[in-house]
């Protein structure tokens, strides 16, 4: 597939890993209206792309994302309500609605500065790996606003109430290692190893049953705001839907390989995936 080209977004591929790159390095990938329009278009274009098995979101140059572009997103649309509305919509759509529902596993590869609204798309990805050297911050307080959009909300989902309150009211920065400690990212590695470690994780995930990965990530994300009773009901329906939608019959394969063939232990690793239709008996 020949990828579309965009003014502010780049797409790169390595095997089944697709890198979706915020590409305004000279502005530290601050999000202009154009970046939001390009990103929504790029995410849409990858939605049904069969080559993409894992989507990695990252930034070009020394930043992941320095938040909304104060000049172009805020000041630049003050007297243009139509562009302001369209930019707000595109901003919400790609960073949260679409990224959180993306059908393949998503990984935020945080290569540098991640400020303000940049936290939203970092949190929207299923997993996040940071460079030790990356610098995070809810910097809104430093220029007289509060963490808007959904940033205050996602901070309380990502970290404890105490940490969310601390980093929001002080605007203090934290690095990749601290981001791991407070639960904001999964791993932190030296910047020099970041891409390699991200590809290693993506490659490991590509060996798993894709339908099970998709349904599992949807389940984990959705039950967060449910009561226990609602979650049980939802998970029962979700499990039934997974069995219906899983073209490679993962459950049957796993059961057979563990119980009959005794060829693997699910506690310690994956079953051997076989071509669809080759293993349909329970
Ligand atoms: N909005 C608009 N422009 C931004 C921006 C933002 N959020 N973040 C960076 N830029 C621009 C700078 O204005 C500068 O533009 P110029 O070359 O035309 O002067 C360029 O990007 C490079 O930024 P600079 O500050 O020189 O780079 P740096 O590496 O020294 O510092 C940051 C990087 C991210 C620490 C710093 O730019 C910064 O604090 N940005 C604001 C972050 C923020 O508060 N974001 C939340 C917004 S809701």
pLDDT at 281 over 70: no
Cα(50) to centroid(ligand 1), Å:
36
CA 126 / ligand 1 centre spacing (Å)? 27
Q: What residues are in contact with ligand 1 under a 6 Å CB criterion?
A: 27-28, 30, 63, 66-71, 113, 115-117, 139-140
At 190-248, the pLDDT tens digits run 999 999 999 999 999 999 999 999 999 999 999 999 999 999 999 999 999 999 999 99
| Nearest-angstrom CA–CA distance, 62 and 57 | 14
How many percent of the chain have pLDDT more than 70?
Answer: 97
Q: Mean pLDDT across the chain, nearest whole number?
A: 95
Q: How many residues does the chain have?
A: 282
Q: What is the DSSP letter of 68?
A: B
- 206 Ramachandran zone, left/alpha/beta (phi>0; psi -120 to 50): alpha
The atom of ligand 1 lying closest to the CA of 62 is: 29
For the CA of 63, the closest atom of ligand 1 is: 34
Residues facing 59 on adjacent strands: 22
> Would the pLDDT of 80 be above 60?
yes
């Amino acid at each position: 597939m020949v990828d579309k080209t965009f003014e502010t977004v780049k797409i790169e591929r390595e095997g089944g890993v697709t890198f979706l790159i915020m590409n305004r390095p000279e502005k530290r990938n601050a999000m202009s209206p154009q970046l939001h329009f390009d990103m929504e278009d790029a995410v849409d274009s990858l939605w049904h792309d069969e080559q993409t098995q894992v989507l990695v979101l990252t930034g070009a140059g020394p930043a992941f994302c320095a938040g909304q572009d104060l000049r172009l997103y805020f000041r630049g649309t003050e007297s243009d309500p139509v562009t302001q509305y369209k930019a707000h919509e595109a901003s919400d759509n790609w960073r949260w609605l679409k990224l959180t529902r993306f059908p393949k596993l998503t990984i935020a590869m945080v290569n540098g500065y991640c400020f303000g609204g940049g936290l939203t798309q970092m949190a929207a990805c299923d997993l996040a790996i940071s460079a030790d050297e990356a610098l995070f911050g809810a910097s809104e307080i430093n220029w007289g606003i509060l963490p808007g959009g959904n940033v205050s909300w996602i901070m309380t989902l990502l970290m404890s109430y105490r940490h969310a309150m601390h980093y929001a009211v002080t605007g203090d920065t934290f690095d990749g290692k601290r981001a791991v400690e407070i639960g904001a990212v999964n791993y932190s590695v030296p910047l020099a190893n970041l891409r390699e470690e991200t590809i290693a994780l993506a490659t490991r995930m590509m060996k798993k049953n894709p339908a099970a990965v998709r349904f599992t990530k949807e389940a984990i994300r959705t039950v967060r705001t449910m009561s226990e009773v609602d979650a049980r009901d939802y998970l029962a329906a979700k499990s039934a839907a997974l069995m219906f939608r899983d073209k490679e019959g993962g459950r049957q394969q796993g059961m057979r390989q563990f119980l009959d063939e005794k060829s693997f232990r699910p506690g310690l690793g994956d079953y051997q995936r076989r071509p669809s239709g080759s293993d349909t008996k329970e």
